Amino acid sequence: MSSKTANLDLYAKVEHLLGIEEATDALHSLYMSELADLEIESLLDVGCGRGGFIKRALAKGMEAKGCDPSEVMAKACQNDGLDVVCGGIETIEGKFDAIVAIFDVLNFMDKEKLNLFLDEVAKRLSDEGVFIADVNTKFGFSEVAEGVMSAEDESGFLNIDATFVNDELTTVFTFFEKERNGKYEKHQESIVQYFHPIRFFQNHKTLKLVDKQTFSLYETNDKTLLIFKKR
Ligand SMILES: C[S@@+](CC[C@H](N)C(=O)[O-])C[C@H]1O[C@@H](n2cnc3c(N)ncnc32)[C@H](O)[C@@H]1O
């Protein structure tokens, strides 16, 4: 793997070993309950991963599409027949009643990229449209994400080493992928995630933060849900 998104592609490859299915499901339910009363017809899921939330939105009768910069993620969605492109939000045309960025997507961007990203979201929201996203709190980074873990299954052996310093979480993924001949191929990539304080969002020029709620996905006030409208 040598592409610009090799680190996201490795994440995509090992996500099933992280044990986050239950948390993902709970988070998707929370987003769906926020959207339930809003009569959403069109939805864009940015950083849609394997498309689990798009499938839920389609089941509710919404017109739903998505994008993800990881080719592995985008392909998995396309193989399931979902309307998903490989890339960031800038690849998407049209306007949407709802845009979502679920499970840490905003934490993958540094301040500068996030600022531009929020502008791109505003351009794609219909007049009364809503943007919903979540970010990790400092607790989420220091109490939940930081540390070492390992896991294995028939696909291989994964080791994760995450360090939170100066508001940045650097996670090194080392994956020994089991090949058909019984040998292992080693892949190693790191992902940096950035802590963003709520005041950053409150001061944004094109999106207005209309609601926020901190909650516990892992029993320790680890996440904040953010709801925005266009200014
Ligand atoms: C933890 S996964 C969450 C996936 C999905 N939203 C879900 O709920 O299962 C984070 C996703 O963000 C994507 N991502 C990373 N940087 C991104 C960016 N700049 N724009 C959009 N998506 C991004 C990754 O490829 C990954 O699929």
pLDDT digits (tens, 9 = 90+) for 150-209: 999 999 999 999 999 999 999 999 999 999 998 999 999 999 999 999 999 999 999 999
Element (H, E) at 224: strand 223-230
Does this model's pTM top 0.85?
A: yes
Asked if 135 and 109 touch (Cβ cutoff 8 Å), the reply is no
Tens-place pLDDT, residues 75-130: 999 999 999 999 999 999 999 999 999 999 999 999 999 999 999 999 999 999 99
Tens-place pLDDT, residues 131-152: 999 999 999 999 999 999 999 9
Residue nearest to ligand 1 atom 13, measured at CA: 47
Helix axes 52-59, 21-35, angle to 10 degrees: 40
**Domains defined for the chain, CATH in brackets:** 6-137+197-230 (3.40.50.150), 140-194 (2.20.25.110)
Q: Ligand 1: distance of its center to the CA of 183 in Å? A: 30
Ligand 1 pocket: which of 9, 99, 108, 171 to mutate (most atoms within 8 A of CB): 108
Count CA atoms closer than 13 A to 118's CA, side-chain side.
26
Q: How many helices (H) and strands (E) does the chain have?
A: 7, 11
